[in-house]
Amino acid sequence: MGDRERNKKRLLELLRAAGTGNARCADCGAADPDWASYKLGVFICLHCSGVHRNFPDISRVKSVRLDFWEDGLVEVAVVLQFMTHNGNLRAKAKYEARVPAFYYIPQASDCLVLKEQWIRAKYERQEFMADGKNISLTGNREGFLWKRGRDNAQFLRRRFVLSAREGLLKYYTKEQGKSPKAAIHLKDLNATFQTEKIGHPHGLQITYRREGHTRNLFVYQESGKEIVDWFNSLRAARLQYLKAAFPELPESELVPLITRNYLKQGFMEKTGPKQREAFKKRWFALDAQERRLLYYKNPLDAFDLGQVFLGSREQGYEVSEGLPRDVQGNRWKAGLTIVTPERRFLFACPSEKEQGEWLESFRDVLSRPLTSFHLLTASTESGPSSR
């Protein structure tokens, strides 16, 4: 066995070694990472390796399987010893020693800007090391974001002010204005990165409840660090609110409630309550935490047209593949039916693949037990149901 094969065999053994955490990416948790930062001593996935390449003074990466690990290229014996001594769990203990509870740790499915800023915060700025500088983020922040107009597609510069003490996020149409255009209570606020939908790599969607509907704000910032800092400041303020509102609950139960991503989004066709109305193409977003299926005419609408509350199977909520035989007018043929105690909802998906993904997502929500919060806020649908 040559040096190359012997070195690769040793690296693969390290990847599979029990108790090292090397079987998942050190940064996003993706399974089966096949890249290594031999300067940091961690194993990472392909996507995170691309971020590491941007700061070679801190991290140097090579593919475990594709690159040459020969003595003539790097001091492989030293590198292998370093990788053996470190590994993902030890690196986590070092670089993630003091991650605040509110700070969002990205997962494999998250957008690039979240992963990039997490990696930079860990290794470049070393914000979370036990002997490092304290992270400066709090639930208070002021600055400018580019916000999409409610009735048009134009993004305009707006001043935003976040105050955890007041429990409000405000934004102003005039830079020095005294009266805010909107004052959003943290009780109803959510924030989620929606880069593809917004069409910007730093696109953030902020939502809140207003007069029985969901109001959407679409914003971005040119600086990746600035927009992620805004996101985590909103999370810090939300956690502070949740602790005050639910003092009896431990922090571990509050953290998952700070912000949430949609379980699934996409276009479907929908008919009205009589099920004789024409099917209309709508954009849908499934909020699993609040058990609500929201629908819009377009993905970037400021307000939803309506909502469908999804209870549990024990309460008589069901989802099934297909449509009733007598239903007509749907252009897309991959149908599905949601049955609630009040009525049934008929949808048509653009493909069988989309149909399968929606069915899996709906079944996931219906299988989850209801909490007292859901029972208090449940409603079948807000707004005219035929829209």
306 touches 387 (CB < 8 A): yes
Task: Give per-residue pLDDT as tens, 122-150.
Answer: 999 999 999 866 677 889 999 999 999 99
Which of 206, 233, 257 is the endpoint of a domain?
Answer: 257
On whether the CB atoms of residues 183 and 174 are closer than 8 A, the answer is no
Please report the sign of the dihedral spanned by the C-alpha atoms of residue 123, residue 46, residue 201, residue 289.
negative
Residue 88 · residue 15 · CB < 8 Å: no
Of 304, 305, 299, 303, nearest to 197 (Cα)?
299
Write the pLDDT tens digit of every residue in 53-72.
998 888 989 888 877 666 55
Q: Average pLDDT of 44-52? A: 95
Do the strands 190-193 and 155-163 form a parallel or antiparallel pair, or are they unpaired?
unpaired
Shared-domain flag, residues 357 and 267? yes
pTM of the entire predicted model? 0.90
Residue 88 sits in the same domain as residue 200: no
Tokens 């049955």 found at: 339
Together in a domain, 232 and 268? no
CB burial of residue 131 (10 Å; 0-12, 13-18, 19+): exposed
Split into its structural domains, the chain has a count of: 3
Q: Which one has a higher pLDDT value, 62 or 352?
A: 352
Mark which of 99, 124, 149 sits at the end of a domain.
124
Helix residue ranges per DSSP H, the chain: 3-16, 46-52, 76-85, 88-95, 112-119, 195-198, 224-245, 251-254, 352-367, 372-377
Same domain, 253 and 270: no
Task: Spell out the long-range contacts of 248-253 with Cβ–Cβ below 8 A and sequence spacing 24 or more.
Answer: 251/101
CATH code assigned at 331: 2.30.29.30
Q: List, for residues 158-191, the tens digit of each pLDDT value.
A: 999 999 999 999 999 988 878 999 999 999 999 9
Name the residue range of residue 339's domain. Answer: 262-372
